[in-house]
Amino acid sequence: MLKNQYHVLGVMSGTSLDGIDLAEVFFTVDQGVWTYEFGHTQMLPYDEKREKAFLADLVSLNPEELDAADSRYSQFLGEQIKAFISKYNIQHLDAVCSHGHTALHRPDLGVTRQIGNQKRIAEISGQRVVCDFRVQDVALGGQGAPLVPIGDRLLFGAFDYCINLGGFANLSYEQDGLRIAYDLCPVNIILNKLVEPLGLDYDDGGKIAQSGTVNDELLKQLNGLDYYAQEPPKSLGLEWVRSEIHKKFKLNELTPADALATFVEHMAYQIAKPLKEESKVLFTGGGAHNEYLLQRIESYKSLKITVPDKQLIEYKEALIFALLGVLKLRDEVNCLASVTGASKDHSSGLIFNANI
């Protein structure tokens, strides 16, 4: 008989390379209605010269090197999870539910690869681990992304749209009884790169972007990229960013402020474009702190925007991967064909027991 309460740890590492998000979550399900409460949460920043540099170079690795990277990152992740559990004296977990870190995402070639999905994590942490949620979907003909929309449906159905502003902007909404979701555009994966010449990690509140001047020619080039004309399901990866976005900025030498202003305008246009006027929109992810970006989005559409408390802004993806793991434990659908384009809805992920 299935339980109606679960105590799990959600673990997320995103493309913006900020660090690892860990969220202790308590779930309750009552007649198909899911509710949650956060326990302890923490973001563990990546070391600039070790983990961050190592993860930023993953797309250049060959298969053997990726296997080694997987082992290295699994060891690191297991140690961080064990330390977090010990620090907060967390007891009686049903599972650790981990996204891993995206090393390669080319669903058009039938390939996606997350590192940090080895049984070693379960052995080090002493916990049952649910992980590697994307591979099965790609094998079924899907994009393997985005995976968050099932959580949007089950936990945040009161909103017309859920938008996460992380490394990329992801949109999720209901249409004719189906959940539709796709990547809108890059966000922090570019914004954070553009402030590096200034010795900063991010543009606080979008203040630097607000001080700059939009380059109309570059804005036109960005908005004209082929991806934006494609119909969903579709998703973005680091490979696309490097081949399409970085190239555009190299060809248009701008000051950091003007580059930021131009890219914020590009993001605002792409994010607002599919939204209906006066709709209720939940914004989460690190980009939700960018007040200037939200202002520019509202300049295109009149919206009822909700920016929740800091904990949900920063840990929503960890929360939802915790839910994906619980759904896998229950052998229930956690991956929607209407979102990814897979041949069917399915319950994705691997389960490793600690055997300790």
One of 3.30.420.40, 3.40.390.10, 1.10.3720.10, 3.40.50.150 is the CATH number of 149-311, namely 3.30.420.40
- Identify the pLDDT of residue 356: 54
- Identify the pLDDT of residue 44: 94
Is residue 9 within a helix (H) or strand (E), and if so which, with residue range? strand 5-13
Enter the DSSP assignment of 216: H
Mean pLDDT per 10-residue run, the chain (356 residues)? 94 86 98 97 91 87 92 96 98 97 86 91 97 94 91 97 93 95 94 93 96 96 96 86 88 90 98 98 95 98 97 94 98 95 96 84
- Identify the pLDDT of residue 49: 82
DSSP string for residues in 128-187: -EEE--SHHHHHTTS-----THHHHHHH-TTSSEEEEESSEEEEEEEETTEEEEEEEEE-
Query: pTM of the prediction?
Result: 0.89
Domain definitions of the chain by residue range: 5-143+321-352, 149-311
- Identify the pLDDT of residue 341: 92
Q: Report domain 5-143+321-352's class.
A: alpha beta
- Identify the pLDDT of residue 267: 98
228: exposed, middle or buried (Cβ count in 10 Å: 0-12, 13-18, 19+): middle
